A = this chain, B = another copy of it.
């Protein structure tokens, strides 16, 4: 867990009642952050799994918890959907009739155009939809994996559609800022392109290289494991992320992922050619340029400068 300190808690709760639907890594982290930052008078967790609800109750992180979405959202001023992006439409449909007039509905999905397509048609008039995506996470899943500082010093993206009440967008900004996030407003389509290259394609190639290494005949899995400190192990972290969540991301951001993957493949073809031709200058030039990018990420506070991420193994 990062050794970080959240901003001063809010002097007054922003919302009377927040309901989080889906108590996974992100949902349960929001619950904890809301509590710690005094962002709501009351927080309810809804989850379709009785096992998850029992665990949330045992963790004592929410005021109330239920598997019944109708009663869970009925009193909420803000409902945040924290389910895999492929499930957003179904959940929105199930809760729509029970939402309070004037409530805000938001989400944390890693894709935005598809979530808007799936959720918006179900919402009744008088309910405000402000899609969001906190760019933060770990490779762990479930209510035990969450922690209140997950969003601290990370960026959260809001993608409100035209005509959204600006005051409510600002209220959502204040909520995320109370968790320590920086907030950026973006067009949904642009979000999907930016995340395709900064998150989705990196996950895809990490999953892919780990799969490739697992399937070789000439190199055993035992060898892959022993010598993974040569670089391979770095990729296994994001390749250990939640399979359902990531399946849905690729199914729901297909065009942007395929576009960025096309660029990646073009570049790797050029690099392959440079290796085949023994073009050391081309390799050296690329390998020097990439150092600068990491330096910038560190300077901008999005990465540690400790060797090997500061890992203790």
Known: A227-B155, A231-B206. A275 touches B254 (CB 8 A): yes
Write the nearest CB–CB distance from A293 to chain B, whole angstroms: 5
Contact A1 B225 (CB under 8 A): no
Stretch at the interface among A41-49, A68-76, A208-216: A208-216
Contact B247 A230 (CB under 8 A): no
Contact A268 B267 (CB under 8 A): no
Taking the complex as formed, is A104 at the interface, i.e. its CB lies under 8 A from any CB of chain B? Answer: no
A258 to B275, CA, bound (A): 8
Q: Give the nearest-CB partner of A211 in chain B.
A: B286
Task: Name the B residues within 8 Å of A227 (CB-CB).
Answer: 135, 155, 157, 194-195, 198-199
Q: Which of A194, A203, A214, A293 is most buried by chain B, counting CB atoms within 10 A of its CB?
A: A293
Taking the complex as formed, is A108 at the interface, i.e. its CB lies under 8 A from any CB of chain B? Answer: no
A83 to B280, CA, bound (A): 17
Known: A234-B234, A313-B304. A154 touches B275 (CB 8 A): no
Interface residues of A in 133-165 (CB under 8 A from B): 135-140, 145, 153-155, 157
Task: Name the B residues within 8 Å of A295 (CB-CB).
Answer: 240
